[in-house]
Amino acid sequence: MSVQMAVGTTEEQPSKRRASEASSVGGLQCQVCHRSYERADHLNRHLDSHRNERSFRCEECPAAFNRRDLLLRHQATHAKNAKDGLIGPNRIAERATKACNSCVVSKVKCDNGRPCKRCHKKGLACLTRSADSSPIPQAKTAQEQLSRVFTHPTEQQVDSSQFDVDMGVDNVYLAEPNSDAQALLDLYNTTGYNQHAIPAFFEQIMVPAPDFMGADYLQSPPDLMAWMPEADWLGQVDIFGTDFTPAVDQMLESHVSQPFPAQSSENTDHSHEKIDINSAKRRHAVFKQSAWFWMPERNQNAFSEHENITLDERNVASSPHMPYSSNVVIPDRLSAGARDRIFQLVSKTARSQITIPSFPSAECVEKLIKVGIAKRTETDAWIHPYTFDSEAARPEWLTALVAAGCICIGVSAVNRTGLALQEIVRVALNTLAENDNSVIRDLEYLQASMLWLDIGAFCGYRRKMEIAESSLQHLVTALRRAGRFDYVRYPVVAPSADDEDEALRVKWKQWVGHESYKRLVYHLFEHDMQMAMVKHRPPLITYAELTLAIPASKMLWLAPTAELWKSRYLEMNITASPPSLRELLRDEAIVLYLRSDTDAQVARSTYLHGIAAQIWEYSQQFVLLHETSDPSSQLWARSRQQKLYQHLKHDDFLLDRSPAVACVLHQFLQMYLHVDIDLIARFAGKCGETAANSAYTYLSPWSQTKEARIAICHAGQVVRAARHIPPYQIRGPDSFMLYHAIMVLWTYSMMVRDRAKKTGTTTPSRTQPNLPPGKMVYLDDLASGNQSDIDTFIAMNSGMPCLRIIYTHKPDISESESIPRPENCNLKYPSQVMRVGISLFDASHPDVDRGTGPPLIRALCGLMEELGGLR
């Protein structure tokens, strides 16, 4: 708390001074109402009445106090009334919420009755100056004075919680009431005592740092964890219940789409004008429930949410989509014995905590396993399909593949089955490692660990996501200690023209084993970097330690037989090993001109993740260097940023040449290089209003820079690339990248609107459907189509940045008449920016109701809807 001191020579008692004389007498003076005091603690107590923090709160009613003794006195009233059979405190016996004018002038205690007892006894007019009676200019003057008062700190500050802040007569002496001070008191009476006069979250934190006054009674920000299920995610649905087997059978035989009710998209700007205060109060404090943290419960374990669940096999509808697009034909056939080993593992791991009256047939389990393998061949293909042998495979590995297959099928009950099996795999692998330490060097054990980490890390359930994130270190350590990050563990295995039959088959399997480790290591590295970027935590693997070669081309990897592998290998005339990630990062020309024996998709994706690791390093250095006065440090930071940006600009990741997921990552990294994602999350309320205000003080000037315009342009391109991801495939790290891109655009929009309010410029209303006249710059269009407009916007801030809103369904005629549905999203409308993200997430899972879709998508949409409704 800050005061301004004026020292004089007079020793007159402050209680006997008139307000008009306060400026001419000595002591410490209040610059709002001009009262003077001899002691700093008395002045601090008086200033606290203007500030009105009221940190001691009653749990039974909305009353709040600045002193603990007043709270105890108030609680004693509750206790007395409860003893007498009354509900709540006796308001007449308490100190007045606002004293009448006569009692204020006479400095006596008032009550809540009108007329009060004193005025009634003396026959005086009992009048109370209302907040509405104060002219607006006076209220503004009072606010300006309050800002001035809390600008110069006193040398003898005292904790404000020790003093009374009652707005009646005990703390404020107004012999001749000052109009500005009275306006200030009226302002604080209306906000301090009216529980419905709570300001919106972003209005209360988007103020300059000296004027910011955080308080725990202000509205809490929305939190992603509030939208994520925790324990009761499975409900009472059977794991292998009535809606399981036919979905698996039919999705491979025929593609039958079952229509689901579409999620309504009637989220207009004005639909969130009212802030749901009760909903905000129900959520936990942000520092206890931040976006990526799970609060463990006592006596909760791996199977506490699965108790009394029977595993039954019934008939249900089919999956609305094919779970994979690969043409790989896996020759393996699952026997009844292998199916029984899976059943034995499930029942043994779950013990008596899960009852299993029936189990899927071998044919059903086989289809799920093949789905789990074939899905991986669409990307980095880190599981070899042609040497897979279910008879010799570990049951933990088979169960992990079944879980992965369940996740790919578009039926919510089957997805829940996969999550239950993922939990069983996790527990079973831990038990296996405890019983036999040597398994941590076994390939199938490591691959099964990678599978359950992939499933759990982005499943949308808080407990599973945190356990998966914390368990990643174990797999990293196992592979690092086994030397699998180093090229020396990978001797050259090449066929010769004389190799035939068994000798050739032995070489083929040995080569496949080495390649499997390579693909597993690079898949793990990409997983680790994705977690680091989207969850803003340090990576566990450094790009410099990966000296192993990039995996061989898919033509060699997916050769179905040893003979075909030999033929292709000899045709390529391979004379040296493919380059490593370290070599790719050292010379980007290698990426542009890859050899034919190198897996181009894996090489380009790994290279992007290597750049991501360097961007992470830069971002951490920038945190330390951006405020330093050392010009050489500033020059290094700027040079490093430009170099990384140049690398990304040189990489040709176009949608017609690269997978859409890779294009999303490419644009996300360019955005990440020009914005602090952690600051964006803090501004959105991740760490509370104090951190949000601190982030605002940095983001407000940032939003007017070229850096900000570059960031939002690439964020718009993230949105464009995400629209080209095939249906039903946005559910992993790409969903977080899209969410962060929307948050960057929304933050920029909030800053634009805030700046327009403060400068008095014309700002579109929240319900205005049409864009203002001017040149529209669409950030989510093909960049080459309007490159000149984008360049002009970045360099000169010329034009209106816009996005396109793509709805999942056409609105009814009645809706189109009553609710404006613009196709264009002007970045002056923050809520419309959120609608762009929500509509994209909804469109990514067509014909699937959001309530039955992926939990992570449901959580992200819920959070964006909540943020879009705040002012």
If we measure between CA atoms, which residue out of 788, 762, 764 comes closest to residue 775? Answer: 788
User: What does 302-317 look like in DSSP terms, one character per residue?
Assistant: TTGGGTT-B------P
**Of 52 and 551, the one with more pLDDT:** 551
Mean pLDDT of 289-311: 50
Q: What is the pLDDT of residue 787?
A: 86
If we measure between CA atoms, which residue out of 831, 832, 834, 828 comes closest to residue 754? Answer: 828
Banded model confidence at residue 812, pLDDT cuts 50, 70, 90: very low
Helix (H/G/I), strand (E/B), else coil: 196: coil
**Of 50 and 152, the one with more pLDDT:** 50
Range of 16-30, 804-818, 848-862 with top mean pLDDT: 848-862
Q: Which residues pair with 355 in a beta bridge?
A: 310
CB-based contact 243:316 (threshold 8 Å): yes
CA pair distance 806, 837, nearest whole angstrom: 9
Q: What is the pLDDT of residue 237?
A: 41
Lowest mean pLDDT among 67-76, 523-532, 744-753, 765-774: 765-774
Range of 32-41, 140-149, 272-281, 533-542 with top mean pLDDT: 533-542
Give 572-595 pLDDT, tens digit per residue. 999 888 999 999 999 988 998 899
Q: What is the pLDDT of residue 310?
A: 37
Banded model confidence at residue 654, pLDDT cuts 50, 70, 90: confident
Banded model confidence at residue 9, pLDDT cuts 50, 70, 90: very low
Residue 287 tokens read as 């520092």
Q: What is the pLDDT of residue 474?
A: 96
- 688-691 contact pairs (CB < 8 A, 24+): 688/214, 688/221, 688/285, 688/286, 688/287, 689/201, 689/204, 689/205, 689/214, 689/218, 689/221, 690/212, 690/214
Residue 632 has pLDDT above 50, yes or no: yes
Banded model confidence at residue 103, pLDDT cuts 50, 70, 90: confident
Mean pLDDT of 653-675: 90
**Of 282 and 302, the one with more pLDDT:** 302
CB-based contact 529:613 (threshold 8 Å): yes
Q: What is the pLDDT of residue 75?
A: 81
Q: What is the pLDDT of residue 160?
A: 39
Please list the alpha-helical segments (H only) found in 651-688: 660-672, 677-683
**Of 508 and 413, the one with more pLDDT:** 508
CA pair distance 329, 386, nearest whole angstrom: 9
Q: What is the pLDDT of residue 842?
A: 92
Q: What is the pLDDT of residue 323?
A: 66
Q: What is the pLDDT of residue 411?
A: 79
Give 456-500 pLDDT, tens digit per residue. 999 988 889 999 999 999 999 999 999 999 999 999 999 999 999
Q: What is the pLDDT of residue 430?
A: 96
Banded model confidence at residue 151, pLDDT cuts 50, 70, 90: very low
Q: What is the pLDDT of residue 85?
A: 64
Beta strand 824-826 with 800-804 is antiparallel
Phi, psi of 776 (to 5 degrees): -90, 130
Mean pLDDT of 663-688: 92
Q: What is the pLDDT of residue 273?
A: 33
Banded model confidence at residue 777, pLDDT cuts 50, 70, 90: very high
Banded model confidence at residue 374, pLDDT cuts 50, 70, 90: very high
CA pair distance 833, 822, nearest whole angstrom: 12
Mean pLDDT of 667-680: 95
Residue 347 tokens read as 């029942």
Residue 247 has pLDDT above 80, yes or no: no
Residue 331 tokens read as 């020759």
Mean pLDDT of 331-339: 94
Q: Rounded to two decimals, what is the model's pTM?
A: 0.71
Give 839-862 pLDDT, tens digit per residue. 999 999 888 888 888 889 988 988
Distances (CA, A) of 101 to 35, 327, 590: 18, 85, 83
Annotate 627-645 with three-state secondary structure: CCCCHHHHHHHHHHHHHHH
Distances (CA, A) of 157 to 40, 48, 355, 755, 796: 7, 11, 65, 34, 48
Residue 7 has pLDDT above 70, yes or no: no
Range of 463-467, 470-474, 788-792, 812-816 with top mean pLDDT: 470-474
Mean pLDDT of 94-115: 75
Give 258-297 pLDDT, tens digit per residue. 333 333 333 434 333 333 333 223 323 333 443 445 566 6
Range of 188-197, 220-229, 718-727 with top mean pLDDT: 718-727
Q: What is the pLDDT of residue 188?
A: 41
If we measure between CA atoms, which residue out of 257, 27, 70 comes closest to residue 160? Answer: 70
Residue 256 has pLDDT above 60, yes or no: no
Residue 642: CB partners within 8 Å, gap ≥ 6? none
Banded model confidence at residue 178, pLDDT cuts 50, 70, 90: very low
Q: What is the pLDDT of residue 774?
A: 62
Residue 592 tokens read as 């542009």
Lowest mean pLDDT among 2-16, 324-338, 502-516, 648-662: 2-16
Q: What is the pLDDT of residue 862?
A: 86
Q: What is the pLDDT of residue 270?
A: 39
Q: What is the pLDDT of residue 230?
A: 59
The residue type found at 293 is: F
Q: What is the pLDDT of residue 105?
A: 76
If we measure between CA atoms, which residue out of 467, 475, 490 comes closest to residue 442? Answer: 475
Mean pLDDT of 763-790: 68
Q: What is the pLDDT of residue 76?
A: 81
- CA 29, 33, 34, 36: dihedral to nearest 10 degrees? -50
C-beta neighbour count of 154 within 10 angstroms: 17
Banded model confidence at residue 110, pLDDT cuts 50, 70, 90: confident
Q: Which residues pair with 802 in a beta bridge?
A: 778, 826
**Of 66 and 534, the one with more pLDDT:** 534
In the block, residue with structure tokens 């995610």: 233
- In degrees, to the nearest 5, what angle opens at C-alpha 483 toward C-alphas 477 and 488? 160
Range of 1-10, 57-66, 119-128, 707-716 with top mean pLDDT: 707-716
User: What does 179-192 look like in DSSP terms, one character per residue?
Assistant: HHHHHHHHHHHHHH
